[in-house]
A and B are shown apart, each in its own frame.
Chain A
């Protein structure tokens, strides 16, 4: 693709970081008391990449991370859920960011909500039980909470790293 070396290196590092975040998260249960809900630490990397490198890199890192993590620790079924969530989440975050009206926290919040919606829709299709959608309000609120937390983390990280790494 003819990427400049610094972008290539940074996207490699970020992909590895996202993959290891997924692994660490599986080791340490960040229980919210509701099954199926987790913080989604890897999304810190995705939101960071979206802001510092652009939507193309965020998509690339997200997809590669899911393929790596699901082939190492998961299964194709898990990859399907993850991909649905990640793609829908990015599909919402990219245009929201472009409007320029939302902060990282707002964008991340929407990303969190739509990540869960994507997964829920796939789950409902796979199980062919639309009763699954009863879980929607719970997942919506959970997506908001985790999205906001991730937005806060990325905001802090970005400020700390401001000027310290050079991309583009």
Chain B
């Protein structure tokens, strides 16, 4: 064995060992903190597509009302991480009657104006169950 000379009472542990250990602990604590932070405040975004093209992205954490004038006029409101279509000049008004969305992957679609607003990376949808 090469490390004969390192015989001491801590099984030959070196300064580098301790530093590496501290680095791991720090990385663990950092990740833990980061995950708790992410859990508290899902960094959700609202993706706005018109005719299949991404026109804008809004943060769910910022309350605002946006009026979109492209093929038609649509107004949606972001409040407390929930998005709702409040006004549209389309004939069927399906998007205005659509229930408010807040979970990742949910979207409100206004077909006549070709507007799709989708939540990305927000609150996870609730899964009924998993199995092995």
Residues of chain A at the chain B interface (Cβ within 8 Å): 51-52, 96, 99, 101-106, 109-110, 113, 131, 134, 136-137, 140-141, 144, 148, 151-152, 155-156, 158-159, 162
Residues of B within 8 Å of A148, CB to CB, are 21
Residues of A within 8 Å of B31, CB to CB, are 136-137, 140
Residue of A nearest to B12 (CB): A103
How many angstroms between the C-alpha atoms of A141 and B21 in the bound complex?
10
Contacts A/B (CB < 8 Å), 18 sampled = A99-B16, A101-B16, A102-B14, A103-B14, A106-B21, A109-B17, A109-B20, A136-B31, A137-B28, A137-B29, A140-B24, A140-B28, A141-B25, A144-B21, A144-B25, A155-B11, A155-B12, A162-B1
Q: Is the interface of B mostly helix, strand, loop or mixed?
A: helix
Residues of B within 8 Å of A101, CB to CB, are 14, 16
Residue of A nearest to B38 (CB): A134
Interface size on B, residues (CB 8 A): 22
How many angstroms between the C-alpha atoms of A125 and B55 in the bound complex?
31
In the complex, the number of residue pairs spanning A and B with C-beta atoms less than 8 Å apart equals 66
> CB-CB contacts of B90-127 with A at 8 A, as 1s and 0s?
00000000000000000000000000000000001000
Residues of B within 8 Å of A113, CB to CB, are 24
Residues of A within 8 Å of B3, CB to CB, are 103-104
Say yes or no for B35: interface residue by CB 8 A criterion: yes
Q: Which of B6, B7, B21 contacts A109 (CB 8 A)?
A: B21
Q: Is the interface of A mostly helix, strand, loop or mixed?
A: helix
Most chain-B CB neighbours within 10 Å: which of A96, A99, A136, A162?
A136
Say yes or no for B32: interface residue by CB 8 A criterion: yes
**Do residues B24 and A51 form an inter-chain contact, with CB atoms below 8 A?**
no
Closest Cβ–Cβ distance, residue B52 to chain A (whole Å)? 25
> CB-CB contacts of B15-45 with A at 8 A, as 1s and 0s?
0110011001101110110010000000000
How many angstroms between the C-alpha atoms of A148 and B17 in the bound complex?
10
Say yes or no for B54: interface residue by CB 8 A criterion: no
Residues of A within 8 Å of B1, CB to CB, are 51-52, 158-159, 162
Residues of A within 8 Å of B21, CB to CB, are 106, 109, 144, 148
Q: When A109-B20, A113-B24, A140-B31 are in contact, do A103 and B13 touch as well, CB less than 8 Å?
A: yes
How many angstroms between the C-alpha atoms of A136 and B124 in the bound complex?
19
